[in-house]
Amino acid sequence: MWTFATAGRVVAGPGASDGVPDVVAGLGRRVLVVAGGHADVDALAGGDEVTVWRHRGEPTVEDVRAGVARAREVRPDVVVGWGGGSVVDTAKAVAALCRGDGDVLDHLEVVGAGRPLPADAPPVVAVPTTAGTGAEVTANAPVRVPERGVKASLRGRTLQPAVAVVDPVLTLGCPPDVTASSGADALTQCLEAFTTPRATPLTDPLAREGLRRAARSLVRAHAHGDDLAARTDMALAALLSGMALANAGLGAVHGLAAALGGRLGAPHGEVCAAVLAATTEANVRALRRTDPDGAGLRRYAEAAAVLTGRASARPEDAAAWLGDAVGTLGVRGLAALGLGEDDVPEVARAALAASSTRANPVALGEDELADVLRASA
């Protein structure tokens, strides 16, 4: 038996964001817009009952508290998240908490109390301006806890946006480094959702199609930011990756990224990209040893065929293609992002305990994860 959940409605394609004012008007009068630093929300900001609250970067506990405090003043009927994936996640977290009286740490997993989120929350309209996390269709919101050196998530059905509006035109202004890191995240999510044992017949077509679009367009979108066809492919790859991961899970790349993100403070997508090829290589090597005739290697062979365009591709070719792509994108290694050798054992232990790692196609030990970190430096 399989279940599948996503945003209540998805509107996608060039120009889709033109309809956001009408979408919002249909949900309520008092509007809180959580917007990225450079997001153009003039079409929404003119109303008497519209409040714009700007946010930049991956949300910390204090950021969420500040947003919730503002929302409790505004008492919005609807919350709009207009910006990159982190902005959308912030909007989701603010909406989920603003009608209760608790603190974000009451509901945060791992380092918080992990209590269920309040059942009552205003609907969220998610308008991503980057093509990466798929936050517009997921039911979680990652939050950094700098004093603990970790990143943990809020999870619950009230975090699922009511409407996702995916307009690739909004991504045309993304700088190359953001295009690279966010796009690598989308590609990673498609790959991990496809290769996890938790994949289903409902998520496979989404992950496969997202992987195909990312494979043909990520490098092109990075090199030619005004290529609308490439931007459309990446916007859809991100959307599809979010739908797939929300219902199938991820893997060790995101387990490592969770452990590294809170410690390094580097962009999530860049961290994923840094460890992607080495983790894939480690997974394939472990599957060769433990289950040479199993479904895991067949999945990687199919992914390799999609990535390379060669039907005869072997599982190992996936890691090689990913390494080449990350190199072309100019993604920094973990050492340049601030990881030292002394950090490796603790990060490996944290990654081993991460929820995403439990969905990996093969069990990797602490030593194997440490080797991935060193190979990604």
Predicted confidence at residue 181, as pLDDT, reads 95
- Averaged pLDDT for residues 53-70: 94
Is residue 133 within 8 A of residue 182, CB to CB? The reply is: yes
Residue 344 to residue 341: CA distance in whole angstroms: 5
- pLDDT band at 356, cuts 50/70/90? very high
The pLDDT-based confidence of 362 (bands split at 50, 70, 90) is very high
Q: What is the DSSP string of 195-260?
A: HSTT--TTTHHHHHHHHHHHHHHHHHHHH-TT-HHHHHHHHHHHHHHHHHHHHH---HHHHHHHHH
pTM over 0.85: yes
Above 90 in pLDDT, residue 120?
Answer: yes
Is it the case that residue 47 has pLDDT exceeding 90?
no
Q: Does residue 151 carry a pLDDT above 90?
A: no
Cα 268 from chain centre:
8
300 pLDDT higher than 80: yes
Distance CA 140, CA 236 (A): 19
Bigger pLDDT: 56 vs 242: 242
Closest C-alpha among 358, 277, 261 to residue 317: 277
